Amino acid sequence: MKKILIILFLIVAVSIFSSSLSSDYTHLLKSIHSSQEFNNIYPYPLKNEDSSEMGWGYFYQQLEPFWYVIGKYESHWSDLENGLYLSNSLPYVTGLTSGFNLDKVRLIFGIYTFDPFLTDEEILVQKDGSIDQNSDRRRYPENGYIDPFKAFFIHRIDILPFKNLRLSFSEINLVGGKFGDVVDFNPLGVTHNTFGEGFSNAMLGIDASWNPIKGFQLYGQFALDDYVVPATEAGAINYKPTGLAWGYGARAVFKMNDFYIAPKAEYYKIYTWMYNRWQTLLTFTGRYDGIDYPMGFKHGANMEGYLIGLDIFNNKGKYKVLFENYIKGDIDIDTPYDDPRKPLYEEYPWEGPAGELRKIIKVSFIFEFNI
């Protein structure tokens, strides 16, 4: 037993100092500096070669062109500092990330499970299908939405038409109140049929990255939670209003001695009812030790503003400075879905910020040293 523990310790120690995985954005920034394309998610393989690795809480294996990471680890899927549909606002994810790499196309799949615990009040709301007038469960107010399961499924396709251009399309399927089925778990699926059950909250994600010149990147991300066409707005009174989010930015990356220096500026717009849902198990939040964290934009919904940041790193450490300035309304992810302000589109526009407004100014200094 002692020998086994020593071997495991050595495997983990080696993986820390010679990891085959990208665990942050230093590799993305290096690729921008050298004008080499690199994926905007982590964890992600650094090389296209067979390898395996065990780290703290996870196991990674690559059998080119297929790879997977399973366990508990930090994750982020965006070029933006604050991702819009799967971001590092979550302390960690528990589950599987896998991919299949081709020359001009990449397929990436993720499944992550979250604490399905509900309070007594949340259970009563969770199984009340009558709240959503478009739900196929509205005829069964005491039957449905109550299985202890909440999982985030994501299917993504990367298209690489040129060396300096990446386009990504993601389908997110949040399943809660029932256990996932074979359609949800299919790692090669691109679209799901979520109609007819009412156990899914789907979202579309689009990413774009362009490096017009060496050391400079233009990037953006768009997320569509729901969209109601103008002709049917009246039918959305008891349903999900239009929920959109987008962010875009620009950064430069240059090198001074052995330091990489990357200033950036980003703009964000999050609609009023983005991420929200009347069932806790279908709201885009993850519960950790009784606290709900947004899966997407870390400050929640119903806001807009900008971020200015500076990343500096070398082999010995990483340094980050962020200045964020937002206008945010009081409607948010935890606002009850039957809030009387939801149908009042004229007074509380869905694009927001809506309600009582406040200003958020945040300055962050983040330091990390390699020992």
- Write the CB contacts of 19 (distance below 8 Å, at least 6 apart in sequence): 46, 53, 55
Query: 5 falls in which pLDDT band (50, 70, 90)?
Result: very low
In this prediction, residues 10-19 reach a mean pLDDT of: 41
What one-character-per-residue DSSP string does 109-167 give? EEEEE------HHHHHHHT-GGGSTT-TTTT-TTSSS-EEEEEEEEEEEEEEEETTEEE
Examine residue 212 and say whether the peptide bond preceding it is cis (omega within 30 degrees of 0).
no
DSSP code of 57? T
Query: 160 falls in which pLDDT band (50, 70, 90)?
Result: very high
As a whole number of angstroms, the distance between CA 302 and CA 292 comes to: 17
Given a cut of 80, is residue 214 above it in pLDDT? yes
pLDDT of residue 61: 94
* Bridge partners, 162 (sequence order): 165
pLDDT of residue 13: 37
The number of angstroms, rounded, from the C-alpha of 369 to the middle of its chain's C-alpha atoms is: 26
As a whole number of angstroms, the distance between CA 221 and CA 235 comes to: 29
In this prediction, residues 278-306 reach a mean pLDDT of: 94
- Write the CB contacts of 40 (distance below 8 Å, at least 6 apart in sequence): 28, 77, 78, 79, 166, 168, 207, 209, 219
Given a cut of 70, is residue 11 above it in pLDDT? no
For 307, half-sphere exposure in the C-beta direction (CA atoms, 13 angstrom radius) is 28
The model scores a pTM over 0.75? yes
- When the candidates are 2.60.40, 1.10.1060, 2.40.160, 2.30.30, the CATH number that belongs to 19-369 is 2.40.160
Cβ(303)–Cβ(327) under 8 Å?
yes
Per residue in 216-228, pLDDT tens? 999 999 999 988 8
Average pLDDT value over all residues in the chain: 85
The percent of residues above 70 in pLDDT, for the chain, comes to: 83
DSSP code of 242? P
pLDDT of residue 10: 35
Per residue in 323-362, pLDDT tens? 999 999 999 999 988 888 888 888 888 899 999 999 999 9
* Nearest-5° Cα angle at 54, 109 to 44: 35
Given a cut of 80, is residue 141 above it in pLDDT? no
Given a cut of 80, is residue 209 above it in pLDDT? yes
Cβ(348)–Cβ(272) under 8 Å?
yes
In this prediction, residues 198-217 reach a mean pLDDT of: 91
pLDDT of residue 31: 92
Given a cut of 80, is residue 232 above it in pLDDT? no
Q: Which two tokens stand for residue 166?
A: 């990446």
Q: Which two tokens stand for residue 25?
A: 């954005």
Phi, psi of 232 (to 5 degrees): -115, 20
Examine residue 353 and say whether the peptide bond preceding it is cis (omega within 30 degrees of 0).
yes
In this prediction, residues 30-50 reach a mean pLDDT of: 87
- Write the CB contacts of 371 (distance below 8 Å, at least 6 apart in sequence): none
More confident call, 40 vs 239: 40
Which residue type sits at 327?
I
In this prediction, residues 75-102 reach a mean pLDDT of: 95
Return the SS3 of 89.
coil
- Among the listed residues 23, 85, 117, 42, the one whose alpha carbon sits nearest the alpha carbon of residue 298: 85
Task: Work out whether the CA dihedral 174, 176, 181, 185 comes out positive or negative.
Answer: positive
More confident call, 194 vs 122: 122
Number of helices (H), then strands (E), in the chain: 4, 21
More confident call, 140 vs 282: 282
pLDDT of residue 15: 39
Task: Give the helix/strand (H/E) hosting 173.
Answer: strand 165-177
